[in-house]
Amino acid sequence: METNNKYGYLIRWLIGVGDMIILNFVFLLICNMLGGRGLHFIYHSLREVILLLNFSYFLSLYFVPIQLHKSVVFIDKIVQRAVSLVTILIFLFATCLMFLNVGNVLASFILVYYYISVVLLISLWRVFVRIILKWYRRKGYNFKKVIIVGAGKNGMDLYRVMKDDLSYGFNILGFFDDNPELKKTLPNLLGTTSEVEEFALAHDIDEIYCTLPGTNDEKIVRMLNFSEKHMIRFFIVPEFYRNLKKSLVMEVMESVPLLTVRREPLQAVYNRALKRTFDIVFSLAILLTVFPILYIIIGALIKLSSPGPILFKQKRTGLYGRDFECYKFRTMKVNAEADTMQAVKDDPRKTKIGSFLRKTNLDEFPQFINVLLGDMSVVGPRPHMLKHTEEYSALIDKYMIRHLVKPGITGWAQVTGYRGETKTLEQMEGRVKRDVWYIENWTFFLDLKIIVVTLLNMLRGEKNAY
């Protein structure tokens, strides 16, 4: 156990040293590349500036600690955390420079180049370390020795997850269970639950995973107390996980632990403020630049293609199930079925310009008005017509969950193959599943990714848009 903890510290120390080499080298390199002006900037107070840079790094680690040594870390999270770390670092560093009276136009110019360079290099460095670490673990090094207590359904599910990827760094020695029948089917059954403590001490176990049902509370408490006494990490898989296959979030009300069925990042005030600020800035930028030109050109084409208004207005379901009026460029002839019938392939109601607008997503641009008004967000689950909300909420259990956030002009479901007509219940279930995943896994960087993919799809043309 001591060796495993030592490896964790060494990995974090190695990453930290690499970060600092990049930070200092890139800073000096950019200043040198700028010639005499850049050198004048750093020589103004060289020792103080370098000291503040490194101090800002260590302070930033308090907000975004190094976590690459953990068993499961995904590449996109590594990049996201690297960007967060460097953003906080630059903010702290720039603030310190202002107090030293070093802040000027040249300093701002250097910091912009420095920020971009360091974000790229530290992201690449950390991804590289993670890849090397995963390779090292697959070779059988830097692993944790673990045992699983309870060989029921939950225990077997946990075993399969741990064994699925050797790079997670788990060396599962086997199971402990009081069911004697399991000896015939489990080759790695190590004994009964009464033998856990003796085995853990003899084999220097790092972690114990308990999947016993709640009726065995005396055994669970006994093993928990043993683990804490001998500094072995102890984890419990809730019994109801057998029927509720999803991640749970722990909250505490005073001293009472509470489990909620989903994590909702947009419940945090900071995240909502960040998303709303981006929505306002982005929608204003579109409405003041691109939209007036599109309105004149597309509006003229719509008028020439068929009689009727330029904008199509339709009641749709928004945040918390409230109705709002959604705007689009009109792509169909005025018809009585607009609020009840979805657009289908080769729909006779579409105008000549309508197919092009739908395929390129240009028909959605008036919805930036909805974003500015606060009815929608740039990114979120697509708003459905009221008839669909009524129908599918009765057929799909989790359908209404998608209304816990504002609907969006584009969304995760749309960029992962679920744009356009939903011909079957399974297609709508797939869309809802992705909408719920977005709600539970929201990050600002995920929104940016969805916007970029949407722009690329607009250039390529959407095959499911009709």
What is the pLDDT at residue 213?
86
CB of 130 closer than 8 Å to CB of 68: yes
Backbone angles phi, psi at 311, to 5 degrees: -95, 140
What is the pLDDT at residue 466?
47
Count of positions (residues) in the chain = 466
Backbone angles phi, psi at 226, to 5 degrees: -60, -45
What is the pLDDT at residue 338?
61
- CA torsion sign for 343, 345, 348, 354 is positive
Report, as ranges of residue numbers, the positions in the chain whose pLDDT lies below 50.
Answer: 1-4, 6, 466
Report residue 117 as tokens: 């360079």
Radius of gyration of the chain (CA): 28
What is the pLDDT at residue 94?
84
Strand spans (E) along 150-255? 170-176, 189-191, 207-210, 233-236, 249-253
Name 52's bridge partners. none
| Matching residue, tokens 């979805």 | 342
Torsion of CA 281, 282, 287, 293, to 10 degrees: 140
Helices (H), 289-351: 290-305
Report residue 311 as tokens: 């904008």
- DSSP class of residue 384 equals P
What is the pLDDT at residue 374?
94
